[in-house]
A and B are shown apart, each in its own frame.
Chain A
Amino acid sequence: MKQANPSNEILISGGGVSGMRAALDLAETGYKVHLVEGSSDIGGLAKDLEKSCMRACCASASGPEGQGEEEMVRNDCFLCTLDPLLVEVKTHPGITVYNNAKIESIEGGPGAFKAVLSSGKWKTELETGAVIVATGLEPFDASLKSELGWGRYPDVLTSVEFEKLLIDAASPGGKLARPSDGKIPEKIAFLQCVGSRDVNVGASYCSSVCCQYAAKEAMTARTYSPETSITIFYIDVRSHGKDWERFTDRAKDDFGIVFKKGLPSRVTGTPGNRALILRYEDEETGEYREEEFDLVVLSVGLVPGESLRETAKILGIQLTDHDLIKVNPPDEINTDRAGIFAAGTVTGPCDIAEATARGSAAAAAVGELIPEGRLKKDEKKYPPERDITGQEVRMGIYLADGLPTALAGAARNIPHTVHVEEGLKPGEEGLMTLRRTIAKEKLNRVLIAGFDPDMYNGVFREALRETGLNPYLLEVTALSETGLPGPVPEKKAVEMLKRAAARTAKLRPLYDSKFPVNKSALVVGAGVSGLNAALSLARQGFPVILIEKESEAGGRLRKTVKTSSGMETGPYLKDLLKQVKGEPRITLMTGSTLKEVSGVVGDFTSAVMTPSGEQEIDHGVLVIAAGASEYRPSEYMFGEDERVITQSDLALKMAAGTFPKDKTIVMIQCVGSRSDEHPYCSRTCCADAVRNAIDLKAQNPDRHVFILHRDIRTYGLAEDLYREARDAGVNFLRFDEDMPPGVEPRKDSLQVRIYDTQLRANIAITADYLVLSCGWVAGKSNEELAGTLDTVLDEDGFFVPAQEKFYPQDMECEGMFMCGGCIYPASIEEAVTQGRAAAGRAAAILAKEELAGPPMHAVVDPDLCASCLSCVRLCPYEAPFINDEGKAEVLALVCRGCGICVSECPAKALSLELCTDEQVLAELEVVSAL
């Protein structure tokens, strides 16, 4: 029941990565966001990590100084990812952050909720159109597993505490140190699954991320302390994410981290905290070993905390048996109360990339619920801009409250300075002073000293606009060399003031170039991900052209029977197609492929080949949802013996009722995955196999079902299925990569032989059917699409996101997004969320009336240009082109502002605003005089 005039204010509870992503997407789409955070700062669990992953920028360190591979790991990578996100959220005009706050009560319905927020000191009432819950999960309290010695022995730490140890080790002069005596630990042990996969304490599900974070922490520790050896004790190594398998392989092969199967059940102390003893079974001999370690790290899982239960109560939404927020799969976002959506780990543990995707998907869900809310904008009116052409520079220097008084004197002596203001306070008082004095003194350059530019640029530029002064005639400086806030010695502060003033005097008025947005989308691929992306975009009010290369939409859903959690996909697909066909904004074109794409974000033109010829389509954004393909095996006599089938064959036969009830089934995992040819994990096969096994047993509890595996990767909530299968009597046998099972066909049976590594015995099984769990491979159309889009694929043929953790749905090119199996194998639920997430990201562009090109772009002076084509050839982004007048011109929207063309132009016809030669040289002049 929606209100007639819905509010465009959105309430988000929880400022972790998911909440922040949702906040930004919504604010960019035109909503007013209220972000409520319980602790003293946003950032969530992510901000306490030493690093989030070990890739990309850190991965190349072959500098002229000769540092090797090891060097690369030694640093925290959040500078380019989480930190800018924090700044963006804190400074976005559309987002208000409330720290140390919580939601006290909420009433009403979608479009019109009334919420009461409070912190220790204040209380306030809000009207809001929708609510997003993103309060996250908490690390498991290891004191609940007292046999592991946490809280008892100082050298037993949780993984969260170990991150802090690593941060200390990363600081200059720091080293990895044992809490008890400060010595460098020679041997460290990690114990996995603490508080996860546990029916007694913590959660019975798998926390999904611990295998990866343990490998990461171990690799980091080895880098800071190469003499430390590390052992990770595990049950299954769950490397089911994009590039995760290679990651854990690196940990083993390159970093020498030992992975031992089998968890010790307790940690035993020694007198004087000399060491910690772990007792475990040697996998190869079966003997018990007692080994001493200097430090034990407990890989704690992610579990719901009291705050989640409280929040659910206040919001009136239901929780599952796990105390997670209840949603209706395959949807992971809508709670059971209309207008309240879930994002992040509140519906189940996941990594940063998935949490980010869920945040964007929740933003999309809000956009679908109240698209009209977005259109209610209070357009701010500014006075007409003062023309300062030909004027002499009249600079005003504003000094923050608390700066040394000598600065004022120095400021007055700076050339062109006509006004100096001391004691400028942040907030409305300071802004009023600023506006007043700019107008009174007719200033045409403004320098504000003693403020963090990242945090205050936006606010002060706005003040300039409000007085009719071009906002780019401003510089904000923190007065330190690095721009970091904090006290600066007087002499240096004076110097920095002079240098900043020299730059400021050279500033010129700049204008954001505006570009129109074609408010429609082109979605390539009508599988489960693409269909959901298209629906979400359409419901948010944008027309969508959805193209599908096959003659029918549906993708993998056409060949599936159930999701691993048991939902039947047939009725789901039918309903989904009905919705798509009934949505007037969606135009579905089957038998159509993408041939060409040109243009820029907001203004793409694509050529699509349809059955009736080529069609040109103009659109603002592009979403690739091309999916993945099932691996067709050649192993295990598939194709030669009709008793060897795939899991999807099995599911279809069971659904059709044609699968015999009394046969013995052997399933083999990782067929076509984790191999030399495909060195990645296909993610969905273990859960699907276990689902089929449960159904086989349900058909006939007395039949024998065997699953031969290398690790069982039923991550997240699928872990419960693994338990269910074991309880139902499914046998799980484990083999090593080097000794795969052998199959021999007989007339009446298939003889399967396997060396089980846990029993340390050869097992022979007389089977009737062999079911192969085949992995996913990159879709055949990926390569062609990559060529069309001029983008690269990774070594496995999948698409590569702009940034794997914080921009998982974005392509490198602005305005292009992707979702589902074309990025990496995904479950149906994940594909749905990613589709919606891509829609959420795309909506942030489509919602805009026009895109503002940043003023920081290269500009050509046509009088100086000799059309030598240097810039055209050198630009990595193809921003410069030769225009109709035969001169070079730069496409502002494409230009990234790097300045390569500027330095290469032989005629100095190009200049880069906000970093001109004059500004740099003026600054050097100041230094010269010192």
Chain B
Amino acid sequence: MKLAYFPGCSLHSSGRDYDKSIRMVLGKLGVDLVEIPDWNCCGATSAHVTDENLAVLLPARNLAIAEGMGLDILAPCSACHQRLVIAEEELKKEKFQKALKETTGKEFAGKIRTLGILEVLMGKVGPEAIEKEIKTPLKGFKVASYYGCLIARIPRVKTFDDRENPTSMDRLVDLTGAEAVDWPFKADCCGASFGITQKPFFHKLSGRLLDGAGDFGAQAIVTVCPFCQLNLEMAGYKEAKETPSRTPLPVMSITQWLALAMGFTAKQAGLSSLLVEPGRLRETVSR
């Protein structure tokens, strides 16, 4: 299977480890990723609150390029994913098709679509194929899946998973041998970019998530969105510094967790760059 890859701004920078683990894991599962040549920023939050056209055209250009490659897109970042999916929907309207042609000279006929990492893993590759590749079942770990709000709730479009109670990542965690913890805040907002601009507010949101995961017995949190991972990790780290009695929860991308279960080393999975390390994990996996 071949997929066009849209890293977006995060996956080559702060989400480097996520990117690496995605390539490792998908490589093992027989999925070739071809990075979209000359891809541009999807616009994320800034574009869609500024200008309607920009909000659609920025992601639309990437869609057009991918369509030219004849491949569906994997966009691991939830925000990128949502912007691309919304653009696919909006491009059904003539005005945006026209604007795309005029601005970029490109066209998009809707022949390809954008997928998130969970849809690729649990939808396209499938649980059976993944199960075959599990070499080091991570037994004894209680892991909370954190979906974040963007991957779950996309307006007016049918989502891969349930909007309020998604479970695909939980099932993936089950496959790795760990125990998936069901907790109520799995699709609640982490604060997103407010992590930079409105720190107290963000701490309230993310703090609630971390407390919630802990209350339900989680020992680690796995994420799909690089921003979620960043926010939760920072919030947890900061919280731990301020309240030494509280043990911070390690937060990593789902593919890093999956990589460990598939037999990759801790180093390969990028555990060392986590702010909060799941200490016990090191005993289970190889260095």
Question: Nearest chain A CB to B185's CB is how many angstroms away?
Answer: 8
Within 8 A of B (CB), among A260-287: 266, 268-271
Question: Nearest chain A CB to B179's CB is how many angstroms away?
Answer: 14
Q: Does the CB pair B215–A146 fall under 8 Å?
A: no
Q: Does the CB pair A268–B164 fall under 8 Å?
A: no
Contacts of B163 in A (CB 8 A): 146-147
Question: Nearest chain A CB to B155's CB is how many angstroms away?
Answer: 10
Contacts of A145 in B (CB 8 A): 164
- The answer to the question of A152 belonging to the interface, with a C-beta cut-off of 8 Å to chain B, is yes
Q: Does the CB pair A269–B165 fall under 8 Å?
A: no
Q: Does the CB pair A268–B184 fall under 8 Å?
A: yes
Interface string of A148-168 (1 = CB under 8 A from B): 010010000000000000000
Within 8 A of B (CB), among A144-194: 145-147, 149, 152
Minimal Cβ-Cβ distance residue in A for B165: A146
A269→B185 CA distance, assembly (Å)? 9
A152→B182 CA distance, assembly (Å)? 9
For A145, A146, A149, the residue with the greatest tally of chain B CB atoms inside 10 Å of its CB is A146
Interface string of A834-872 (1 = CB under 8 A from B): 000000000000000000000000000000000000000
- The answer to the question of B162 belonging to the interface, with a C-beta cut-off of 8 Å to chain A, is yes
Q: Does the CB pair A269–B184 fall under 8 Å?
A: yes
Interface string of B187-214 (1 = CB under 8 A from A): 0000000000000000000000000000
A807→B103 CA distance, assembly (Å)? 70
Q: Does the CB pair B164–A147 fall under 8 Å?
A: yes
Q: Does the CB pair A147–B165 fall under 8 Å?
A: yes
Contacts of A270 in B (CB 8 A): 215
A149→B164 CA distance, assembly (Å)? 9
Q: Does the CB pair B164–A146 fall under 8 Å?
A: yes
- The answer to the question of B110 belonging to the interface, with a C-beta cut-off of 8 Å to chain A, is no
A438→B183 CA distance, assembly (Å)? 74
A269→B165 CA distance, assembly (Å)? 12
- The answer to the question of B217 belonging to the interface, with a C-beta cut-off of 8 Å to chain A, is yes
Contacts of A269 in B (CB 8 A): 182-184
Contacts of B184 in A (CB 8 A): 268-269
Q: Does the CB pair B165–A152 fall under 8 Å?
A: yes
A145→B183 CA distance, assembly (Å)? 17
Minimal Cβ-Cβ distance residue in B for A152: B165
Q: Does the CB pair A271–B217 fall under 8 Å?
A: yes
Question: Nearest chain B CB to A488's CB is how many angstroms away?
Answer: 51
A268→B183 CA distance, assembly (Å)? 9
Question: Nearest chain A CB to B216's CB is how many angstroms away?
Answer: 5
Interface size of B in residues (CB-CB distance below 8 Å): 11
A271→B165 CA distance, assembly (Å)? 16
Q: Does the CB pair A271–B164 fall under 8 Å?
A: no
Q: Does the CB pair B162–A146 fall under 8 Å?
A: yes
Interface string of B52-76 (1 = CB under 8 A from A): 0000000000000000000000000
Contacts across chains A and B counted by CB atoms under 8 Å: 21
Contacts of A152 in B (CB 8 A): 165, 182
Minimal Cβ-Cβ distance residue in B for A148: B164
Contacts of A266 in B (CB 8 A): 164
Interface string of B108-129 (1 = CB under 8 A from A): 0000000000000000000000
Contacts of B216 in A (CB 8 A): 271
Contacts of B165 in A (CB 8 A): 146-147, 149, 152
Minimal Cβ-Cβ distance residue in A for B166: A146
Question: Nearest chain B CB to A191's CB is how many angstroms away?
Answer: 14
Contacts of B185 in A (CB 8 A): 268
Question: Nearest chain A CB to B217's CB is how many angstroms away?
Answer: 7
Question: Nearest chain A CB to B158's CB is how many angstroms away?
Answer: 12
Question: Nearest chain A CB to B29's CB is how many angstroms away?
Answer: 29
Contacts of A147 in B (CB 8 A): 163-165
For B162, B164, B185, the residue with the greatest tally of chain A CB atoms inside 10 Å of its CB is B164
Question: Nearest chain B CB to A183's CB is how many angstroms away?
Answer: 21
A270→B212 CA distance, assembly (Å)? 9
For B162, B165, B185, B217, the residue with the greatest tally of chain A CB atoms inside 10 Å of its CB is B165
Contacts of A149 in B (CB 8 A): 165
A268→B217 CA distance, assembly (Å)? 16
For A145, A147, A268, A271, the residue with the greatest tally of chain B CB atoms inside 10 Å of its CB is A271
Contacts of B215 in A (CB 8 A): 270-271
Within 8 A of A (CB), among B242-277: none
Minimal Cβ-Cβ distance residue in A for B216: A271
A152→B183 CA distance, assembly (Å)? 10
Minimal Cβ-Cβ distance residue in B for A145: B164
A145→B164 CA distance, assembly (Å)? 8
A146→B182 CA distance, assembly (Å)? 14
Contacts of B182 in A (CB 8 A): 152, 269
Contacts of A268 in B (CB 8 A): 184-185
Interface string of A121-162 (1 = CB under 8 A from B): 000000000000000000000000111010010000000000
A469→B113 CA distance, assembly (Å)? 81
Contacts of A146 in B (CB 8 A): 162-165
A707→B82 CA distance, assembly (Å)? 40
A145→B215 CA distance, assembly (Å)? 25
Question: Nearest chain B CB to A582's CB is how many angstroms away?
Answer: 53
For B184, B215, B216, B217, the residue with the greatest tally of chain A CB atoms inside 10 Å of its CB is B184
A270→B216 CA distance, assembly (Å)? 8
Minimal Cβ-Cβ distance residue in B for A276: B184
A271→B162 CA distance, assembly (Å)? 22
Within 8 A of B (CB), among A283-339: none
A883→B162 CA distance, assembly (Å)? 79
Question: Nearest chain B CB to A153's CB is how many angstroms away?
Answer: 9
Minimal Cβ-Cβ distance residue in B for A151: B165
For B163, B215, B217, the residue with the greatest tally of chain A CB atoms inside 10 Å of its CB is B163
Contacts of B162 in A (CB 8 A): 146
Minimal Cβ-Cβ distance residue in B for A147: B164
Question: Nearest chain A CB to B103's CB is how many angstroms away?
Answer: 33
Question: Nearest chain B CB to A204's CB is how many angstroms away?
Answer: 16
Contacts of A271 in B (CB 8 A): 215-217
Question: Nearest chain A CB to B147's CB is how many angstroms away?
Answer: 13
The 5 A-B pairs of least Cβ separation, nearest first, read A147-B164, A146-B165, A146-B164, A268-B184, A269-B184
Q: Pick 15 A–B contacts, CB within 8 A, sort by A.
A: A145-B164, A146-B162, A146-B163, A146-B164, A146-B165, A147-B163, A147-B164, A152-B165, A152-B182, A268-B184, A269-B183, A269-B184, A270-B215, A271-B216, A271-B217
Given contacts A146-B162, A270-B215, 4 further A-B contacts (CB under 8 A): A146-B163, A146-B165, A152-B165, A268-B184
Measured CB to CB, the residues of A under 8 A from B are 145-147, 149, 152, 266, 268-271
